[in-house]
Structure 1
Amino acid sequence: MPQDLPLVAPHTPGAELVVGQDGAARVRRTVLPGGVRVLTEHMPGLRSATVGAWVGVGSRDETSGHYGSTHFLEHLLFKGTTRRSAMDIAEAFDAVGGEANAATGKEHTCYYARVLDADVPMAVDVIADMVTSARLDAGELETERGVILEELAMNDDDPSDVAHEQFATAVFGDTPLGRPIGGTPQAIRSVPRDAVWEHYREHYRPETLVVTAAGGVDHDALCAQVVDALSAGGWPLDPGTAPASRRTASDAHAPTAPRELTVRRQTEQANVIVGGLCLTATDPRRFTLSVLNAALGGGMSSRLFQEIREKRGLAYSTYSFASGHADTGMFGLYAGCTPAKVDEVTALMVAELERMADAPMGAAELTRSIGQLSGGLVLGMEDSGSRMSRLGKAELVHGELLSLDESLERVRAVTAAEVQELAAELAAAPRSVVRVGPFGD
């Protein structure tokens, strides 16, 4: 096992960092042989823990012929390894009252489980077995192909899901970020087993793996368990291997022309989204964006909710949203309304953004928005799953781990002038529009 080397270069094999957190919690980060990174947050008094295995590969990393492979792997890793059947994996967690799941994103994939603290060694062993030794059995793959197609069909039956998927396509265009995370039905039907296997072997390696855990967890014990489990899976843990480089903004994402897309669905309500490109995940102004988002469309007191729903009664649901990636991001305004009112509602949403760009928000609105964000940050850190996820994103996305107090300080430091400046930038940017509903030609 690596020796404790406080505050050394974070990607040096054998390095360890220790950072105090809020409420007597403590985060430790160690680089294991093979470049595997392990981050834990010990939460005193908690009898459970959430463990996650993050792989720095997402849907944007798929190449031609491999489309849909990332989401396919999320399913197939639960279908059996060289040591365990699919039932063995399911029974391992059910027998201890645990929960196991996975999630695929555009830039990473995570396999995670929440268990009692005494069952953390089992969870580490099972998840590591899945990550290192998946069989990707041809018969299981064909069965799961049908399951994934049903999942996509379920999502396609939800017009709001369709609107958000099409909005990403409109904003990012014909780029990897513009493709659906789960793959298209055509891609899932056509991708062969060999392509999924190649994708798995290319991207699932020690240097791309980040293991995070939060709750009643012991860092040194977890590091030992990870090394044992990965070694049992046959992964080479070369002490000289450094972790894979983090995605950076140098992978420039070329802006695409704004688009207007209409998807015809025989629904009673129309869904509309308007917006465009926005900040990257590491942009220092992301805290300003959070305050802007809270004021514009983040709650019942937000401008969109008050103007469109409360004053005019034109929609039941309306909000704003933002998401960031390594080299770009997107920002959007959403509403669900009567099809005949789509143009009016779209104009009202844009008008509220422009009004925010024209004049700084008042002190009361700024205080309320910051308070909403601050409360949400604190409440969101009350469970081990959220803290486990925060560690993974800090390592793979942000490149820094802020304590809760540091995050709150950055939010509270946002000024009305900064919000207005960013709103003006967003209002002046090219806008894409997506409508889903019973529209004619």
Structure 2
Amino acid sequence: MHQFTTVDGPVPVISMVDERLSTTTICLASKYGSRLDPEGRCGLAHVLEHVLMSAPVGAVPSLSEYVERLGGHANAETGLDRMLFYAQTDPDDAEEIAGLLHQAVLQPRWSEDVLEQEKRSVFQELAMAAADHSDVAQDAFLARFFPGHPMGRPVAGTKADVERCDTASVAAAHEERMLTAALSVIVVGPRVPKSVDPVVAGIDQRVLAAIGTAPATVPPSPAPLPLQPVHWSTEFTWLCVGARSVPEGDPQRHRFDVLAQLLGSSPSSLLYRRLRGEAGLAYTFHAWNRGYADTGVWRVLAGVEPGNGDAALDVIRATLDEVATKGPAPDDVASARRQTRMRILTSMDTPLDCARFLALRAGGLGSWSPAQEVASIDAVTADDLRSAAVQVRDGLRVVGSPVAL
């Protein structure tokens, strides 16, 4: 049986203990993300993430290499408003790995060679993302929604800004921004290692005292740019359609999550039946909602063939309008709630996914549990979904990539 607990403190520890598990996953979740990158240093948080996972720690060349040599898996990710550092390992190695993870993230050893190595790696990421038009469309969508604002900048950065990153700027971002942001530790495994407590791991008290001292305020989000027509190319195009929803901690968040399933890629969804089944206009598409500190974004990403863009967009708009004006049918509401609930449950059943889910959901949300999440989903009504659809329909913005030359 799962035993879910939260131990409060300067660095809260959120754990999901199941004695049947044969691996332990440890995740450090920081509320520092790319939206806090200073002007002219877009991508600084992303570069920092790379360096922390690749720099020497303790007596080993890097946390990533050491964990993988033990047969485990280690990785990290940067988002607009948070960073995750995680390792999945044998429970017998978890004490050592938890301590090394704390040291790598909170007390790094800076290396010019590692920084240059990881900047080259980031350049390869940027090149790969530029060749993936589904990524390009999403970056363009956020830039349209948050013009001139840190939320509208690409998380991975730009080549020119990444090139300007040096050891001094990376170290300053770590000390002034990351170490002062809120931090939580998530553990999923058969037991909780003692060294997930940063004090037990030997982290300096000065470092611990700084955690969570950064102001909670964020720059206000600007109004999105006016609605603009899509200039279709003659190639296969990724279409990103969406609107603002609500912040991460807003009690109305669940209605937008369920709306994403109602209009998602499952054959049970209303949009699947309209867009793929009846019209045959899209083979692959996804819908999701993402909440941030002060706002949220709900969106659909669909791939369309040349010549089908306007027709696909018309179907998406018409389906949204149908839900906004008439409300969804009772069986569609029930199905969308079940789909949303199942996403929670399947995440809980996979240790690494569970740790990431807890980091994104539980960290910083106060009193929270998977049972509360499921109960909130089950409480979403047809009227709630109609209200969410009205907000999305009325605030809709659209971008596509590639665009016509």
- Aligned match of 1:228: 200
Contact in 2 for aligned 1:170/1:260 (Cα 8 Å): no
User: Whose Rg is larger?
Assistant: 1
Aligned pair partner of 2:96 in 122, 140, 151? 122
Please give the secondary structure, in 2, of the residue aligned with 1:78: helix
How far apart, CA to CA, are the structure 2 residues paired with 1:382 and 1:211? 19
Aligned pair partner of 2:387 in 399, 415, 421? 421
Aligned pair partner of 1:335 in 302, 305, 310? 302
Deviation at 1:54, TM superposition (A): 1.9
Aligned pair partner of 2:80 in 95, 98, 106? 106
Contact in 1 for aligned 2:247/2:291 (Cα 8 Å): yes
Distance 1:397 1:340, change over 3 A: farther
Q: Does 1:153 align with 2:127?
A: yes
- Aligned match of 1:48: 23
How far apart, CA to CA, are the structure 2 residues paired with 1:245 and 1:336? 41
Aligned pair partner of 1:164 in 116, 133, 138? 138
- Aligned match of 2:292: 325
How far apart, CA to CA, are the structure 1 residues paired with 2:103 and 2:211? 22
Q: Does 1:370 align with 2:348?
A: no
Structure 1 segment 132-143 matched on structure 2, within 5 A:
132-143=106-117
Aligned pair partner of 2:221 in 253, 256, 266? 253
Structure 1 segment 8-19 matched on structure 2, within 5 A:
none
Percentage of identical aligned residues = 24
How far apart, CA to CA, are the structure 2 residues paired with 1:132 and 1:364? 49
Please give the secondary structure, in 2, of the residue aligned with 1:434: strand
- Aligned match of 1:25: 3
Contact in 1 for aligned 2:54/2:114 (Cα 8 Å): yes
Deviation at 1:263, TM superposition (A): 8.4
Structure 2 gap ranges (5+): none
Distance 1:385 1:286, change over 3 A: same
How far apart, CA to CA, are the structure 2 residues paired with 1:272 and 1:47? 42
RMSD, aligned α-carbons: 2.5
Distance 1:407 1:399, change over 3 A: same
How far apart, CA to CA, are the structure 2 residues paired with 1:130 and 1:309? 47
Letter in 2 for 1:311: E
Letter in 1 for 2:200: D
Paired residue total: 405
Structure 1 segment 272-351 matched on structure 2, within 5 A:
272-351=239-318
Q: Give CA-to-partner distance per residue, 1:329-380, whole Å, 9 cap, x none.
A: 1122322112222122112211110111010211111111112222222122
Please give the secondary structure, in 2, of the residue aligned with 1:358: helix
Deviation at 1:242, TM superposition (A): 7.6
- Aligned match of 1:10: none
Structure 1 gap ranges (5+): 1-22
- Aligned match of 2:236: 269
Structure 1 segment 180-259 matched on structure 2, within 5 A:
180-205=154-179, 208-218=182-192, 221-224=194-197, 226-231=198-203, 234-236=204-206, 243-244=212-213, 247=216, 252-259=220-227
Deviation at 1:229, TM superposition (A): 2.4
How far apart, CA to CA, are the structure 2 residues paired with 1:24 and 1:341? 47
How far apart, CA to CA, are the structure 1 residues paired with 2:66 and 2:166? 30
Deviation at 1:121, TM superposition (A): 0.9
How far apart, CA to CA, are the structure 1 residues paired with 2:388 and 2:277? 26
